[in-house]
Chain A
């Protein structure tokens, strides 16, 4: 099998795209191999993951008051 050459830039692109997805094509194997050797790309990959993680952790809930306004607006009773 011909060895696939990938550049850091390509890895960064692809890593973005395939985060959380299956890496199974020959190209992706080459990317995985690159990631193992290249700490720059690993750091980039990690920082994209951190970015996603930040937005996941940044959560909000409706207040009790806005819950009551919603039920009231819809004419629904709040039965616990």
Chain B
């Protein structure tokens, strides 16, 4: 059965079709939630909340957007809500000049290449992205890591295309700088 028919069947109350839909998206949603929270328990909790919301409001899903876009949106909103509850202080990345300096280029020479066993690099990546406020983090993850278009990312986050681009550009420059500074010798 294709996705469209699965959705229609699930909306009509077919629990087998619903289970198929959950299985279709569970890896994507878990992995996205993990990338936002950087923590397995929080990722699992967010995944559960996302699918609970999906089951509750699937009948209202009109198919105008993709189901994946809809699920990403629920997940992103859930993560943002969790972060707002906790009131973090994130580094300000409004100053482009602080993010990009011409003498920072050489610092990349000692950065290792990524392997799944390299726990040092992984923890650097975790730390760097956690300094980024979730509003920037989510844009970077949707656009660059999940590979969604700028327009889709805008739809999910309620941002205009120029706003997505500007956040993306700052998030990239910030992460790059964090990583390079860690490995600077």
> Which residues of A does B touch, CB under 8 Å?
8-9, 12-13, 16-17, 19-21, 40-41, 43-44, 46-48, 50-62, 66-67, 69-71, 73-79
Partner of A9, one of B15, B102, B114: B102
Check A40 against B44 for contact (C-beta < 8 Å).
Answer: no
Check B111 against A47 for contact (C-beta < 8 Å).
Answer: yes
- Rounded to whole Å, the gap between the CB of B126 and the closest CB of chain A is 9
The residues of B that contact A67 with a CB separation of less than 8 Å are 26
The residues of A that contact B169 with a CB separation of less than 8 Å are 13, 16-17
Check B145 against A52 for contact (C-beta < 8 Å).
Answer: yes
- Rounded to whole Å, the gap between the CB of A35 and the closest CB of chain B is 13
What range describes how many residues of B lie at the interface?
A: 35 or more
Q: Does B27 have its Cβ within 8 Å of any Cβ on chain A?
A: yes
Check A50 against B108 for contact (C-beta < 8 Å).
Answer: yes
The residues of B that contact A51 with a CB separation of less than 8 Å are 172, 175-176, 179
Q: In the complex, what distance in Å separates the CA atom of A79 from the CA atom of B116?
A: 31
* Nearest neighbor of A73 in chain B, beta-carbon distance: B48
Question: Which chain B residues numbered 1 to 22 have a C-beta less than 8 Å away from chain A?
Answer: 15-16, 18-19, 22
